[in-house]
Every structure is written in C-alpha cells, then in structure tokens.
C-alpha cells in the first residue's frame, strides 16, 4: 500500500542535545573543537531561531542534529530516538522520512522541471503519485508559483527558485524542519514571503523548526532565540523569548 502524504502524527519532534562535542581537525589537536560540550532542549512543535556570529558553529550544529555529520562526543536524541545509536543508513532513512531542509543555497536539479524537483522527496518515500502532485501544485500556488510548474530552474528568479526549494523541503510534511539562513540571500520582501510560508506550515502541522539566522527580523518569527558562541549555548538569561 502506498503511503499517504500526511504523517500519522503531525506533531513536531522533540530535539535534545547533551554534551555534544565536534572537532574537525583530528590531525591537529591544538585546534579547539567547533562544538564544545553543547546541550540544548527544543520541545515538540517549537520554532527556535539559532543566532550567533559567523563561525560560531550554527551550521555544524544543524548538520549534527540532522545526522548528516556525527559528533565526537555526546548524545543527540530526535523524537526520543538516539541519532548516535543509528547506523548511517538508518539515519538517512530517518532524515528522509521525518526531516525537511531549507538551505541558503538551494540545489535544484537544473534538468528537472519545477514540479519534478518538488516531487523528488515524495518519490523517494513512495508516496501516492496523484496525491503528491496535487499537494505539490497546491503548495506551489501558495508560494506564488502557480502555472510555473513546467518551467526549469534557470527560467526562474533567485527568489522563485528558493520558494521551489522550500516547497520541495516540505512536501512530505516533515516533523522537524532545519533551516540554515533561509532568507540569507533574498531581498527583504522575498525573505518575508518565505517566513510567512514557514509560519503557515507551522500553524498547520506544528513541526519543530530550527532556523539559523543573522537577521533579527527573521528571528522574531520564532518563539525563542537560542544564542551560540564559540560552539556553546549562551546561558538562559542571555536567551531571548519572544
Ligand atoms: N568541514 C569542515 N572542516 C573543517 N572546519 C570546518 C568545517 N565546517 C566548518 N568548519 C569550521 O567550523 C567553524 C564553525 O563553522 P560553521 O559553518 O558551523 O559556523 P556558522 O556559525 O554556521 O557560520 P556562518 O554564520 O558564517 O554560516 C568555523 O571555524 C569553520 O571554519
């Protein structure tokens, strides 16, 4: 039987990191770790902005939480499941099923149409084709791309391409959205459009969202801001709750 598009439980996943350490330069022990005993807890369906200076470890942390990279120490639990205990294959399958990624650099496949790009994750998960197409066209319409589903990425503006990438990241209604500078390369209005879309999806499905950003405006869409400095979370009293 083919899977339906809506997840069985649309509630976001709880994310817990405990004493996580990551260092890249094993060959050079004098280099300090990029993530230094970092702990955080993000509750089901919470939308968190992760802020910090360039090089403070935001993208590294997202990659660790996603299981794209593995830490040198510590524990990461997503939805009650240890990401560390999983094999790489298990992590990939978990990621594909439950997570959606919104990156600053949106790698759309240039030889695939907008619709084909958007349908890729649904295809990987063997969703019902007809239902996936309906969902794709509806989401594309919501982000102002009605009628552009047969175009190729090169025939779209940068902002339009970013919106396609977001629809692709969210087509399977993930329970955890990891967004790395989702508005970084966009003009203010397009960026606000992306945030409005995230907000709509957050209200509808209540996924957990972790969004890195340098923008105070963007962070105000989140329920909480967590600040990271030199691979460590700043203490509670230096966090900002909105
Ligand atoms: N694959 C890698 N190999 C070696 N060092 C790396 C690697 N990736 C990141 N780093 C280093 O780790 C540190 C943290 O990088 P990271 O990209 O996580 O920071 P960031 O907070 O996301 O920065 P930005 O806001 O500029 O995106 C930086 O000093 C960076 O040079």
Compute the distance from residue 51 Cα to the ligand 1 centre, in Å: 14
Percent of the chain with pLDDT over 70: 91
Domain 45-59+97-241, second-level architecture: 3-Layer(aba) Sandwich (3.40)
Q: How far apart are CA 133 and CA 32, in angstroms?
A: 48
Residue-level pLDDT at 241: 53
Is 166 touching ligand 1 by the criterion CB < 6 Å?
no
CA of 20 to the centre of ligand 1 (A): 16
Query: Which of 17-31, 83-97, 214-228 shows the lowest per-residue confidence on average (mean pLDDT)?
Result: 17-31
- Residue 239 has a pLDDT of 52
Q: Is the CB of 227 under 6 A from ligand 1?
A: no
List CB contacts of 61: < 8 A, sequence separation 6 or more: 17, 20, 35, 38, 50, 228
Would you list the domain boundaries of the chain? Answer: 45-59+97-241
Q: Please tell me the distance from the alpha carbon of residue 163 to that of residue 222, in angstroms, as a whole number.
A: 19
pTM of this prediction exceeds 0.80: yes
pLDDT tens, position by position, 105-161: 678 999 999 999 999 888 888 888 899 999 899 989 988 899 999 999 999 988 888
List the residue whose alpha carbon is closest to atom 2 of ligand 1: 24
**pLDDT band of 1, cuts 50, 70, 90:** very low
Q: Which atom of ligand 1 is nearest to the CA of 56?
A: 21
Output the residue whose Cα is nearest ligand 1's atom 3. Answer: 24
Contact 62, 22 (CB under 8 A): no
- Please, what sign has the CA dihedral across residues 134, 138, 139, 143? positive
**162: Cβ below 6 Å to ligand 1?**
no
Per-residue pLDDT at 221 exceeds 50: yes
Q: Does residue 57 have its Cβ closer than 6 Å to ligand 1? A: yes
Going by alpha carbons, the residue nearest to atom 25 of ligand 1 is 54
52 vs 169, residue with greater confidence: 52
pLDDT in tens, 35-83: 999 999 999 999 999 999 999 999 999 999 999 999 999 999 999 999 9
CA nearest neighbour of 118 among 186, 166, 185, 178: 166
């Amino acid at each position: 039987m083919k899977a339906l598009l809506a997840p069985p439980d649309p509630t976001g996943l709880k994310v817990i990191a405990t004493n996580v350490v990551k260092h890249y330069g094993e060959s050079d022990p004098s280099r300090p770790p990029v993530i230094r005993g970092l702990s955080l807890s993000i509750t089901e369906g919470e939308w968190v902005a992760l802020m910090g200076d360039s090089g403070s470890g935001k993208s590294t942390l997202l990659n660790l939480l996603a299981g794209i990279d593995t830490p040198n120490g510590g524990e990461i639990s997503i939805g009650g499941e240890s990401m560390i205990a999983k094999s790489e294959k298990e992590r990939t399958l978990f990621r594909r099923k439950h997570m959606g990624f919104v990156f600053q650099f949106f790698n759309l496949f240039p030889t695939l149409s907008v619709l084909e790009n958007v349908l890729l994750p649904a295809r990987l998960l063997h969703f019902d084709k007809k239902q996936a197409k309906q969902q794709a066209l509806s989401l594309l319409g919501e982000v102002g791309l009605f009628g552009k589903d047969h175009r190729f990425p090169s025939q779209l503006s940068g902002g339009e391409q970013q919106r396609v990438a977001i629809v692709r990241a969210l087509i399977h209604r993930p329970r955890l959205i990891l967004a790395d500078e989702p508005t970084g390369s966009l003009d203010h209005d397009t960026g606000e459009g992306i945030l409005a879309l995230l907000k709509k999806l957050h209200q509808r499905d209540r996924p957990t969202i972790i969004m890195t950003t340098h923008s105070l405006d963007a962070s105000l869409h989140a329920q909480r801001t967590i600040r990271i400095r030199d691979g460590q979370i700043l203490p509670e009293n230096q966090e900002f709750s909105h």
